[in-house]
């Protein structure tokens, strides 16, 4: 097992148990001068809508904590949840569930019975969540890209984890985010239960110019956050349920490619992150019926360097501003709020996995504003895909290359 230790008491490199030199995640000086963790040039000269909307003050964890590599043998993991007994149920992108023993890193054989996925490019088996009554019904819900004759789409399925844990029983697709499109990008893919036993699901706008505008179209399920029942039906009370020209399952719209969903442990509000283009990754509080602006407003530019919109705008009446944005990008994927007591200074902080940024962002929030940011595991140089809090209060995070880390107090 590979181990690293981080503490604000030492600025020099520390030694892991296998002899590898590693450095503290964040220099001690950041806690003194409050300089932002991002020091690179922004892609744009766009001005934020309010102070603290980007490049918040840097913070440093003072509690000594350690990270342990539980296994390096996963196959492109995408989603991770903790089972009641502390083991971890993980989706692998090619279309498998596996169970990992968090104590010894043992990985189960692939779990059968899952509908075929379209795993080209960004597609495949994506996010997952457990039924709140999993102890009694063993039901699992997941998101995947489903191939059809004329393309593919984001789909939601459910099934029962068999008692012998070798298969998913009676798997069925309960929702399809149409229209179907022949592409391989921006599926969204996170799924989470609310306190009422309903599901929030994120979908992407499929990236291409011809689909991008559908994030503003209330008759399309692309570029949305949806609220559905466990049978895949719109939840009563959704904001557009009585609107003839809108889909009743839509909860919010104007999203690009949201891949993070989490409820704030104190306020109960739903938070989401989403990929911007080149710059302009966002952190949002999701409110019923609200338009989050893509592609009309954005703090990013095209990957080519061209501006988005003519002229490009970042603010417009009737469109919600992000609570926070990154430029350059974080490439945010899975996220979770920390609720354990293991590391008290992390209480209610938000942890977001970064792909191209190759770190986990620790986000300190006060009164729905970001007041601090720290980079965790940056020295590991991994593309971090998803994160969850285990039953033991530790954080467990998977990387695109197949590594599972456990992060906890030393």
Any idea what the CATH number is for the domain that residue 82 is in? 2.120.10.30
Query: Do 279 and 326 touch, CB atoms closer than 8 A?
Result: yes
328 CB-near residues (< 8 Å, 6+ apart)? 38, 40, 41, 42, 43, 279, 357
pLDDT for position 101: 98
Q: What are phi and psi of 31, to 5 degrees?
A: -75, -15
Q: What pTM, to 2 d.p., does this model score?
A: 0.93
In this prediction, residue 6 has a pLDDT band, given cuts at 50, 70 and 90, of very low
Active site residue 153: no
- pLDDT of 27 higher than 70: no
pLDDT for position 29: 33
Q: Which of 186, 255, 264, 359 is catalytic?
A: 186
In this prediction, residue 1 has a pLDDT band, given cuts at 50, 70 and 90, of low
As a whole-number percent, the residues of the chain with pLDDT over 90 amount to 91
pLDDT for position 2: 54
Total structural domains in the chain?
Answer: 1
- pLDDT of 13 higher than 60: no
One DSSP character per residue, 333-348 reads: EEEEE---SSSGGGTT
**Mean pLDDT in the chain?**
93
pLDDT for position 34: 86
pLDDT for position 16: 34
Domain that holds residue 68: 3-409
Query: Do 283 and 335 touch, CB atoms closer than 8 A?
Result: no
| C-alpha 271 chain-centroid distance | 10
Distance CA 383, CA 38 (A): 17
Distance CA 102, CA 99 (A): 9
């Amino acid at each position: 097992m590979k181990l690293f230790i981080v503490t604000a008491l030492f600025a020099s490199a520390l030694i892991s148990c296998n002899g590898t030199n590693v450095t503290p995640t964040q220099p001690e000086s950041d806690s003194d001068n409050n300089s932002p963790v991002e020091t690179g040039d922004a892609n744009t000269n766009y001005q934020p809508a309010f102070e603290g909307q980007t490049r918040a003050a840097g913070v440093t964890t003072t509690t000594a904590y350690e990270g342990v590599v539980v296994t390096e043998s996963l196959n492109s993991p995408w989603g991770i949840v903790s089972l009641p007994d502390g083991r971890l149920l993980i989706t692998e992108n090619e279309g498998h569930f596996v169970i990992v023993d968090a104590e010894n890193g043992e990985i189960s054989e692939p779990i059968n019975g899952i509908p075929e996925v379209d795993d080209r490019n960004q597609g495949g088996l994506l996010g997952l969540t457990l039924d709140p009554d999993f102890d009694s019904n063993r039901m699992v819900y997941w998101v995947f890209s489903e191939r059809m004759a004329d393309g593919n789409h984001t789909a939601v399925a459910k099934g029962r984890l068999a008692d012998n844990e070798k298969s998913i029983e009676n798997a069925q697709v309960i929702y399809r985010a149409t229209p179907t499109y022949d592409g391989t990008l921006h599926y969204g893919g996170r799924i989470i239960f609310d306190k009422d036993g309903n599901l929030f699901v994120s979908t992407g706008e499929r990236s291409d110019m011809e689909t991008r505008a559908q994030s503003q179209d209330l008759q399309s399920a692309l570029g949305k956050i949806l609220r559905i029942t466990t049978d895949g039906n719109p939840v009563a009370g959704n904001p557009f349920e009585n609107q003839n020209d809108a889909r009743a399952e839509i909860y919010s719209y104007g999203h690009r490619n949201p891949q993070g969903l989490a409820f704030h442990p104190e306020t109960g509000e739903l938070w989401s992150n989403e990929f911007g283009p080149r710059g302009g990754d966002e952190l949002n509080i999701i409110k019923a019926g609200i338009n989050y602006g893509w592609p009309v407003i954005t703090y990013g530019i095209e990957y080519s360097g061209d501006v988005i919109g003519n002229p490009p705008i970042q603010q417009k009446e009737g469109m919600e501003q992000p609570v926070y944005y990154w430029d350059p990008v974080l490439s945010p994927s899975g996220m979770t709020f920390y609720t354990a007591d293991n590391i008290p200074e992390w209480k209610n902080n938000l942890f977001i996995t970064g792909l191209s940024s190759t770190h986990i962002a620790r986000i300190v929030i006060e009164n729905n504003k970001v007041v601090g940011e720290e980079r965790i595991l940056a020295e590991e140089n991994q593309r971090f895909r998803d994160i969850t809090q285990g039953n033991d209060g530790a954080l467990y995070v998977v990387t695109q290359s197949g590594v599972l880390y456990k992060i906890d107090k030393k």
